Structure 1
Amino acid sequence: MTTFDDRERSFETKFAHDAELRFKAEARRNRLLGEWAAGLLGKTGDEARTYALTVVTSDFEEPGEDDVFRKLSEDLAGRADEATIRAKMVELREEARRQIASEA
């Protein structure tokens, strides 16, 4: 095994770890968005948790976050405008990253 092989394996391991953290942070952000939106919709308890899960799963419809935004925009029509939803998405992305980093 050469030093180059060791470095390559190290970079691959770091890449995989970083990808896993990004996935966890996005899923956490989506759950937090779902909880926020559930509150705006007047949902509590199990109903709010179930709704938050639908927001998480909406992210699997297509690459990127437009699918999550679209779901929230449709569900929150009349309760939150596009700018509010987008700002909350940014805010909760940072919060999710902080939470995941503190757990690692």
Structure 2
Amino acid sequence: MTTFDDREHAYENKFAHDAELQFKADARCNKMLGQWAAGLLGKAGPEAEAYIREVVTADFEEAGHEDVFRKLSADLGEKADAETIRAKMAECMTEARRQVLEEES
């Protein structure tokens, strides 16, 4: 195997690893968002857990995070405006990435 092949293999492995970490961070972020929204909606126990799963699975509708934003925006209505939801999404993503990277170490 040549040095070029080794380098190509290393880049492929890094890409796969980074994609896996991003997937984990996205899922964790969505779970945090679901917990936050469930609290605002007054959901607790099994009802909150079911709602959290709905938020996590909403992310599979399309690429990006707009599908989750639309779900939260529709569900929360007057309880949280777009700016508040987007700020919470950014906050949760920062925390989710930190947690995932910390677990990797």
Q: 2:16 corresponds to which residue?
A: 16
The offset of 1:102, in angstroms, is 1.2
Q: Residues 20-39 of structure 1: matches in 2 within 5 Å?
A: 20-39=20-39
Aligned counterparts of 1:28 and 1:36: Cα–Cα separation in 2: 12
The offset of 1:45, in angstroms, is 1.5
Q: Does 1:4 align with 2:4?
A: yes
Amino acid at match of 1:61: E
Identical residues among aligned pairs (%): 66
Amino acid at match of 2:43: K
Structure 1 portions without partners, runs of 5+: none
Aligned counterparts of 2:89 and 2:13: Cα–Cα separation in 1: 29
Q: Does 1:75 align with 2:85?
A: no
Q: 1:40 corresponds to which residue?
A: 40
2:77 is paired with a residue whose SS is coil
Aligned counterparts of 1:49 and 1:57: Cα–Cα separation in 2: 12
| TM-score, length-scaled by structure 2 | 0.96
Q: 1:96 corresponds to which residue?
A: 96
How many residues matched?
104
The offset of 1:62, in angstroms, is 1.1
| TM-score, length-scaled by structure 1 | 0.97
Q: Does 1:61 align with 2:68?
A: no
Amino acid at match of 1:57: T
2:64 is paired with a residue whose SS is coil
The one-character-per-residue Cα deviations of 1:16-42 (angstroms, maximum 9, x if unpaired) are 000010011011100100000000000
Aligned counterparts of 2:4 and 2:64: Cα–Cα separation in 1: 34
1:9 is paired with a residue whose SS is helix
Between 1:46-55 and 1:70-79, the stretch displaced more is 46-55
